[in-house]
């Protein structure tokens, strides 16, 4: 407990789903949490405040440079520093699985805008503040799918592969400033969105579980320990790495 005491943590896409689980975990460890989402974070905000967190919620479009800059600036106004950025916002569970020839170009562009441009834009927004304080942690959320080449979701898989490369290059550029950049790569998680997507559940659940060394469904809480490890001083000398958490489906 209190590994994150008084640390200021921005989590994008935190209003619901796995992002909300990350926010609760950070609050439980004593962090000041910024819920950054295009969705309304008011309900979660009240929950976090009830846990004793000095939390705020900001309407944020991660793909928009001005919105991301405002997110960082308002966080600084409230707390005076930014210790951790979790680039969690992504388009996934709402996608329909289909052959790559049938993916609409507009949908491709939307996935890339949120899943790749988003982490780039948000990292660029917080980097000056982290550089000024000489420390910081950036955690990009990827996926196990780039390691497998999962079919039916080419735009999503491609975007999450890009996140791996983004992490490695950023780690090289930011290391001299005391900023660590790492990736957390979950497997198929029973998030709210995945549970609601019957087709995705039907097509992916059985083969994914069969591929795991630990043969069970993955739940959001399975990601809490690894996330806190990457966000805290426990991983102080670690950067540019990808931690896959999927029950042993991918081993790399």
**Active-site residue numbers?**
156
Q: Annotate the chain with DSSP letters as a single string.
A: --TTTT-EEEEET-SSHHHHHHHHHHHHTT-EEEEEESS--HHHHHHHHHTT---EEEE--TT-HHHHHHHHHHHHHHHS---EEEE-----TTPPP--GGG--HHHHHHHHIIIIIHHHHHHHHHHHHHHHHT-EEEEEE--SHHHHT-TT-HHHHHHHHHHHHHHHHHHHHHGGGTEEEEEEEE-SB--HHHHH-HHHHHHHHHHHHHH-SS-S-B-GGGGHHHHHHHHSGGGTT--S-EEEESSSSS--
């Amino acid at each position: 407990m209190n590994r994150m005491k008084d640390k200021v943590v921005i989590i994008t896409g935190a209003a619901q789903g796995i992002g909300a689980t990350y926010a609760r975990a950070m609050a439980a460890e004593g962090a000041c949490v910024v819920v950054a989402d295009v969705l309304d974070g008011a309900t979660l905000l009240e929950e976090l405040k009830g846990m004793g967190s000095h939390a705020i919620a900001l309407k944020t479009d991660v793909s928009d440079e001005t919105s991301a800059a405002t997110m960082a600036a308002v966080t600084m106004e409230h707390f005076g520093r930014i210790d951790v950025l979790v680039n969690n916002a992504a388009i996934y569970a709402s996608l329909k699985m289909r052959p790559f020839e049938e993916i609409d170009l507009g949908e491709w562009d939307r996935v890339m805008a949120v899943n790749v441009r988003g982490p780039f834009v948000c990292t660029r927004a917080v980097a000056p503040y982290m550089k000024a304080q000489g420390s910081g942690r950036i955690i990009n959320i990827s996926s196990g799918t780039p390691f497998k080449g999962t079919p039916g979701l080419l735009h999503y898989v491609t975007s999450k592969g890009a996140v791996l490369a983004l992490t490695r290059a950023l780690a090289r550029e930011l290391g001299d400033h005391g900023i660590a950049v790492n990736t957390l790569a979950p497997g198929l998680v029973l998030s709210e969105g995945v549970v609601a997507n019957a087709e995705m559940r039907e097509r992916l659940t059985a083969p994914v579980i069969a591929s795991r060394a630990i043969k069970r469904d993955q739940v959001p809480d399975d990601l809490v320990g690894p996330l806190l490890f990457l966000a805290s001083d426990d991983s102080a000398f670690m950067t540019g790495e990808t931690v896959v958490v999927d029950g042993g489906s991918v081993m790399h």
